A and B are shown apart, each in its own frame.
Chain A
Amino acid sequence: MKHITVITGHYGSGKTTFAANLAAQYRRQGAVRIVDMDTVNPYYRTADLSAFFEENDIAMTAPMYARSNLDIPSLDYDIPTLAEQSPLIIDLGGDDAGAYPVGKYAAYLDSTGYDMYYAVNFCRLLTHTPEEALDILREVESASRLRATAIVNNTNLGRETTEDTIVKGEALAGRLSEMAELPVLCTTAPDFLATDGDYCKVKILIKNIWEE
């Protein structure tokens, strides 16, 4: 575990859910802070999960205007200052558009070292193949001026995810891994799925209001 971990990926690839779960895992080894750096979409953002972070004693930093009457894409915090206090998990917005803000810290992160995990869901239409997922990975790297260090295979169909979904995703993640010359950090499985597979279990934190 590096001191700073950046989570990136295609829009809707499950970055925020994965980042929150990773923070809970890191918390078992000591203090950790999750940083909401999503300047793209005010819906389904890290700051929405503040109750989960409080419950798990995880510090959170979000743009001061997030979820306020003025949800504008401004970042009023400083990553090097926050990093003095504890390890950080930085949750970016989707695609290259969401990856630009962290580019401000590219030189700093190069000097300290970092992990950047690229979350991919092969059930998304624009990352349906390893080639498409690689295109978006390269766009994200170019925008962030950072290099991904591992792939997180987060292939899922939401509530309808089955073991079959995950197995199909694993094969595609394997090909992406070869093409991008990056290791696959883990393959995720949602908490509601009963499976004996060697998966990283992910607690599903975002639910629709009508789900019982």
Chain B
Amino acid sequence: MAEERVLMKGNEALAEAAIRAGCRCYFGYPITPQTEIAAYMSKRMPKIEGGVFLQAESEIAAINMVYGAAASGVRAMTSSSSPGVSLKSEGISYIAGCDLPCVIVNVQRGGPGLGGIQPSQSDYYMATKAGGHGDFHLLVFAPASVQDMADFAVWAFESADKYRMPAMILSDGLLGQMMEPVVFPEISSAQPEKPWAAVGHNNARPHNIINSLYLQPDELEASNIQRFERYEVVKREMASAQTYLTEDAEIIVTGYGATSRIIRSAVNAARKEGIKAGMLRPVTLWPFPEQAYKDTLSTAKVYLDVEMSMGQMVNDVKLAIECKRPVHFFGHTGGIIPTPAEVLAQIKALDEKIRKGDI
């Protein structure tokens, strides 16, 4: 059974894998294109021992329910799409301030504002830079296939517990809705001890306090410094990237999530025309896989960042390569998906510049 392949939508695969990873509390609120996660949870959770599905009255209520469940040590998750995740940002900040593990899924749609319902990647800043107020980071995972949606749900829960951080799975409407065969990962049922959790103990120990309020400046600063020391460990241990045909690549095409599938097709087409193009896909967006970018500098002459946004990741690429090469950008927004042919045209234009000595 474990090795059997089934055909799943990305949203369903993520939900099923979360349950298998031990998620026992799911709180959500409907919004296209992530509603299948809530719909799936509503069907499955009642059949799971200890499983809770609750449709909250709002996104804000849902994230605060996650806050409470996570404080008691339960693996808890919420999901939404872009505008709904904006609403959750206050709660996310509180969870980060309390050092609680949980998983937040964003199946991105076009923005800003109410935007549209088609796929987008314009919440990169929100996920990696501004998930809420205060000094904190989220672990941010960027799946690129239905299999990733399943695997990363498990990865996100495990990493969130390990580092006591909220983790975000930054998906998009394309990955959420598309269907692909998937095998569910084998999961060890053992979860880490959570001695910090606020659970009943019959006065066997001093009580635990889950709190993000520090009115004494020195205490608040100490808590922030402690957290940022932990982030340094996370940066060393978690940064992850996938490369494809980069060994000799002069043109590094970079992009995350579903866009990396399009880039791969374009790189294959470019290689057929003798152009030395390769793909670099950041798998974790925070921490950003800086070393993987630096490793490509020995052959790279130019970088092309492709996104379904106005170019939110460009600066991170420039910082990773310390601005040693030009970084170009190509993208679409509003739910328009870049095609492999469009990306290939961009690659060919850069190749021509290299041949002419303009790069």
Contacts and interface: CB of A to CB of B under 8 A. Distances in A.
A125 B261 contact: no
B9 A12 contact: yes
Size range of the chain B interface in the assembly: 20 to 34
Given A126-B43, A209-B262, A71 B117 contact: yes
Given A210-B340, A211-B265, A212-B265, 4 more contacts: A124-B8, A128-B6, A156-B7, A210-B262
A193 to B, nearest CB: 14
Size range of the chain A interface in the assembly: 20 to 34
Contacts of B265: 210-212
A208 interface: yes
A208 B5 contact: no
B276 to A, nearest CB: 20
Contacts of B5: 123, 157, 160
A160 B181 contact: yes
Interface in B307-359: 337, 339-340
Nearest to B9: A12
Interface in A193-212: 208-212
Interface in B1-30: 5-9, 12, 16
Contacts of B268: 212
B260 to A, nearest CB: 9
A108 interface: no
B177 A157 contact: no
B137 interface: no
Contact of A12 (B179, B181, B261, B340): B179
A12 B7 contact: yes
B264 interface: yes
A39 interface: no
Contact of A157 (B43, B173, B181, B339): B181
B72 interface: no
Contacts of A153: none
A44 interface: yes
Interface in A128-166: 128, 156-160
Contacts of A12: 7-9, 12, 179
A12 B10 CA distance: 11
Contacts of A212: 265, 268-269, 340
A210 B43 CA distance: 32
A42 interface: yes
A8 interface: no
Contacts of B261: 208, 210
B7 A42 contact: no
B178 interface: yes
B113 to A, nearest CB: 13
A128 B8 CA distance: 12
Nearest to B7: A123
B264 A125 contact: no
B90 interface: no
A11 B179 CA distance: 11
Contact of A125 (B16, B33, B177, B339): B16
13 contacts: A12-B8, A12-B9, A12-B12, A12-B179, A42-B32, A42-B117, A71-B117, A123-B7, A124-B6, A157-B5, A158-B179, A158-B180, A209-B339
